[in-house]
Amino acid sequence: MDSGATHAPVAGMYHHIKQLMYTVRVGVPDPRFGNMLLEQFGGANGELAAAMQYSVQGLNCEDPDRKDLLMDIGTEELSHLEVVGTLARMHLKPLKNDRRAAHADPLIAIAGGGGVNLYNSMGDPWTADYLKITGELDVDLRSNIAAEARAKIVYERLINFTDDPGTIEALQFLMTREITHMKAFTLALDSLGKPEFSIGRIPPTPGLVDQYFNDSTGVGDRGEPDTRGPWNQGGDWELVNAPAFQELESEKAGTRQANDREPVHSSPDGR
Ligand code: MN
Ligand code: MN
């Protein structure tokens, strides 16, 4: 092949190096715990979901600086997938031949031969429905901050459910990196310089935007109160008490409109 051809393959893109981002050691395998680890392999808040979410957001991103951030972290998440997959595999391996271990997860024992696959801890297949990709950079960054928070708390719970020191060390590493990512995404969002509650281009309706609807009222059976806090008092807030029980001042103030009181049926020809 002519090496000078304009369509010659370029070295780079994805490349695998046979070294884990974090060396994984496991003492005594725990097949039940291996099943729990699958949540971070093929689950909703797991590493594949994170890798795909950030990488695909990066493909859509027209801001070269934040695109670099999305591709950096998306690629690191693929390295995490390899670490958590290796860890889960170590814990699940006895399922292949050990009859008692096989009872811990029959699906992985019989269909999977004690190996990992892209399923969550309940055996549900990984799905692109897990991904939050809007094509709006600031909205995507907010999703990513929340995704990192979820990944962090799942790792924390996993740490609480194992006594194996090597497993805890690896999970502590992965958990820590999620906080690092949350920090990077948060600072990237801040650096866009957008006002805090500004999303998109169309401004919210003045007045209505500052109305807090007190839609849950009274005192609950266990003494649950009707509460005031910075989320509904002070600043520009206006508390609207029990709007369902009062006529709204403007027919556009809520979702109700005068002609909404009768159900509207439309037919295909518009009659
Ligand atoms: Mn990760
Ligand atoms: Mn992360």
Q: Residue 45 C-alpha to ligand 2 middle, in angstroms?
A: 10
Q: Residue 192 C-alpha to ligand 1 middle, in angstroms?
A: 24
**Tens of each residue's pLDDT in the chain, 271 residues:** 455 556 666 766 788 999 998 999 999 999 999 999 999 999 999 999 999 999 999 999 999 999 999 999 999 999 999 999 999 999 999 999 999 999 888 899 999 999 999 999 999 999 999 999 999 999 999 999 999 999 999 999 999 999 999 999 999 999 999 999 999 999 999 999 999 999 999 999 999 999 999 999 888 999 999 999 999 999 999 999 988 887 765 555 555 444 444 444 444 444 4
**Dist CA 138 CA 150 (whole Å):** 19
Q: Which ligand is nearest to the CA of 46?
A: 1
The residue written with tokens 């971070």 in the block is 40
Q: Which ligand is nearest to the CA of 174?
A: 1
Q: Residue 19 C-alpha to ligand 2 middle, in angstroms?
A: 19
**Dist CA 84 CA 36 (whole Å):** 11
CB 81 within 8 A of CB 43: no
Please, which residues have CB within 8 angstroms of residue 258's CB and are 6 or more apart in sequence? 251
Q: Which ligand is nearest to the CA of 173?
A: 1
Q: Residue 256 C-alpha to ligand 2 middle, in angstroms?
A: 42
Q: Residue 148 C-alpha to ligand 2 middle, in angstroms?
A: 5
Instruction: Say whether 42 sits in a helix, a strand or coil.
Output: helix
- Cα 239 → chain centroid: 32
CB 66 within 8 A of CB 184: no
Question: What's 193-238 look like in SS3?
Answer: CCCCCCCCCCCCCCCHHHEEEECCCCCCCCCCCCCCCCCCCCCCCE
State the pLDDT at residue 77. 98
Q: Which two tokens stand for residue 186?
A: 């948060």
Q: Which ligand is nearest to the CA of 179?
A: 2
Q: Which uninterrupted H or E stretch holds 119?
A: none
Q: Which ligand is nearest to the CA of 182?
A: 2
Question: Hey, what domains does the chain have and what are their CATH numbers?
Answer: 31-191 (1.20.1260.10), 204-256 (no CATH)
Q: What distances in angstroms separate CA 67 from CA 57, 58, 142, 185, 188, one per listed residue? A: 8, 5, 15, 12, 11
Q: Residue 192 C-alpha to ligand 2 middle, in angstroms?
A: 20
Identify each DSSP E strand in the chain by its residue range.
211-214, 238-241
